[in-house]
């Protein structure tokens, strides 16, 4: 596992953003993946969102266009944190842990 923190993110990693319903195995799981934390502030209301993708810039644009996860619609989001992993499976596993790390997310939200 190779861990890279944001910034920088290698350019040229642009593939489909589909999270798909089925379990993917084989070569497709070998594609590099990113786990990211977005932040949004509306007045005193500060929120974070944790997700994974293979193209951070496109995914952030989708969230800000109202086409991302339902919980992110109607807000302006900024990238607070990202990590790069060699496989999507590693990124998905890390996402699971970051979603449950409230202390870490709260610290990032205070930076907004």
In this prediction, residue 13 has a pLDDT band, given cuts at 50, 70 and 90, of very low
- Answer whether residue 44 is part of any domain: yes
Please count the structural domains in the chain: 1
Confirm whether 41 is domain-assigned.
yes
pLDDT tens for each residue of 49-106: 999 999 999 999 999 999 988 888 999 999 999 999 999 999 999 999 999 999 999 9
Q: What is the pLDDT of residue 112?
A: 86
Give the structural domain span for 48.
33-110
What's the CATH number where 100 sits? Answer: 3.40.1440
Q: Which residues of 26-54 are buried (b: 16+ CB within 10 A; e: fewer)?
A: eeeeebbbbbbbbbbeeeeebbbbbbbbb
Would you state the pLDDT for residue 17? 38
Residue 10 falls inside a structural domain? no
Above 50 in pLDDT, residue 4? no
- Give the count of beta carbons closer than 10 Å to the beta carbon of residue 75: 17
pLDDT, mean of residues 3-11: 45
The confidence score (pLDDT) of residue 51 equals 96
Q: Identify the band that residue 28 occupies on the pLDDT scale cut at 50, 70 and 90.
A: low
């Amino acid at each position: 596992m190779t861990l890279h923190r944001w910034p920088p993110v290698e350019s040229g990693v642009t593939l489909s953003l589909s999270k798909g319903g089925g379990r993917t195995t084989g070569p497709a799981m070998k594609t590099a993946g990113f786990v990211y934390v977005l932040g949004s502030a509306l007045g005193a209301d500060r929120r974070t969102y944790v997700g994974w993708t293979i193209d951070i810039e496109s995914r952030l644009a989708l969230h800000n266009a109202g086409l991302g996860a339902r919980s992110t619609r109607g807000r302006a989001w900024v990238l607070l944190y990202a990590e790069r992993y060699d496989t999507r499976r590693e990124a998905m596993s890390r996402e699971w842990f970051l979603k449950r790390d409230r202390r870490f997310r709260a610290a990032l939200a205070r930076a907004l």
